[in-house]
Amino acid sequence: MATKNQSLGEFIIENQNDFQYSSGELSRLINSIRLAAKMVNHEVNKAGLVDITGSAGEINTQGEDQQKLDVFANDTFIRTLTKRQIVCGIASEENDDFITIEGQRNDHGNKYVVAMDPLDGSSNIDVNVSVGTIFSIYRRITPVGTPVQLEDFLQPGNMQVAAGYIIYGTSTMLVYTTGNGVNGFTLNPSLGTYYLSHPNMTFPDDGNIYSVNEGNYSHFPQGVKDYIKYCQTEEGDRPYTSRYIGSLVSDIHRNMIKGGIYMYPRSSKAKEGKLRLLYECNPMAFIAEQAGGSASDGHERILDLKPTELHQRVPFFCGSKNMVAKAEEFMTKYPR
């Protein structure tokens, strides 16, 4: 039974029997993510004091300008997960291809793969806005003892065994699920320990916040435009409040606590959508559903989509289930 102020380590040990196929590796994997997150948090908190902000002068596989903290976070998570010999493969938003990791006896004996966005919203670092890390864990489907393959990563989100995010904000929180609800742990910086602060997190069924970049309004599909107008119309508990940070972790975290919907639809500028299915949408959808919310591409459940490539982009609607259902209602009035 979750106890508030219980440490993350104690919580993992107490609940490891809830992990399907539990034999200790998944618990160790979560612990490794916890360690890497503390290292990234340390650097994020020094932003402005040391040369860690701004562009790294490189372009990632998405064609985006890499920030120095992107590179640091990516290297830190990869190094931590690799050295602990827990996973057989890692796919990162910052890397062109997945990374194959051999076991301690060079036998490819580990069972899990990780897909991650090491620093979501990193362009906000320079202006001191919250950023985050998103991670997703799958059990490999190719035979243990062989090198990891692309198909191990291209699994639908409903095959995730765990997912979570770390938000680096006014406090640092690690929020994750293993398919048995969602729990949030806040870092005590003086002790370096995460404590359970938000047990059994849930989305309210309804909310009054909509989160979307309205600067792209003219490029949105008509169904999205109609839904935004619905949100702005004075009737009942509407108009809703518009809140958009531009950091997926921060927007989803706020809406889960207060009730709301996050939207990043396809547009004439991003015809397939902008967010990545593997690194952002699948883990956030898993968390949302475990918290009583919903996640969709506007027409289909995100977790049922079968990925076709590592860096695939999709439209994303995520949040309080009644709000997502209403957005889908507007979307289905028009052909895709």
What pLDDT digit, counting tens, does each position of 236-257 carry?
A: 999 999 999 999 999 999 999 9
CA–CA distance, 328 with 290 (Å, rounded to integer)? 20
Confidence of residue 56 (pLDDT cuts 50, 70, 90): very low
CA–CA distance, 289 with 145 (Å, rounded to integer)? 33
Residues 6+ apart with CB under 8 A from 140: 88, 89, 111, 112, 113, 148, 152
Q: Binding residue per annotation — 294?
A: no
Q: Binding residue per annotation — 229?
A: no
Please report the pLDDT score of residue 28 as a whole number. Answer: 86
Please report the pLDDT score of residue 198 as a whole number. Answer: 96
Q: Binding residue per annotation — 206?
A: no
**Domain at 209-331, CATH from 3.40.190.80, 3.30.1330.30, 3.40.190.10, 2.60.120.260:** 3.40.190.80
Res. 334: pLDDT tops 70: yes
Q: Binding residue per annotation — 208?
A: no
Q: Binding residue per annotation — 329?
A: no
Q: Tell which wins on pLDDT, 67 or 51.
A: 67
Q: Where in the chain is the domain with CATH 3.40.190.80?
A: 209-331
- Give me the amino acid identity at 174: L
Q: Binding residue per annotation — 274?
A: yes
- Residues of the chain with pLDDT > 90, as a percent, come to 71
Q: Binding residue per annotation — 157?
A: no
Bridge partners of residue 301, in order along the sequence:
296
Q: Where in the chain is the domain with CATH 3.30.540.10?
A: 8-198
CATH class, 8-198 region: alpha beta
Q: Tell which wins on pLDDT, 83 or 329.
A: 329
Q: Binding residue per annotation — 319?
A: no
Please report the pLDDT score of residue 161 as a whole number. Answer: 94
Sign of CA dihedral 40, 254, 288, 275: negative
Q: Supply the DSSP symbol for 16.
A: G
Please report the pLDDT score of residue 194 as a whole number. Answer: 95
Q: Binding residue per annotation — 123?
A: yes
Res. 128: pLDDT tops 90: no
Phi, psi angle pair for 24, to nearest 5° = 105, -30
What would the mean pLDDT of 60-88 be, rounded to a whole number? 81
Q: What is the pTM for the complete model shown? A: 0.92
Q: Degrees (nearest 5) of the Cα angle 53, 54, 56?
A: 105
Please report the pLDDT score of residue 58 as a whole number. Answer: 54
**179-198 pLDDT, tens per residue?**
999 999 999 988 989 999 99
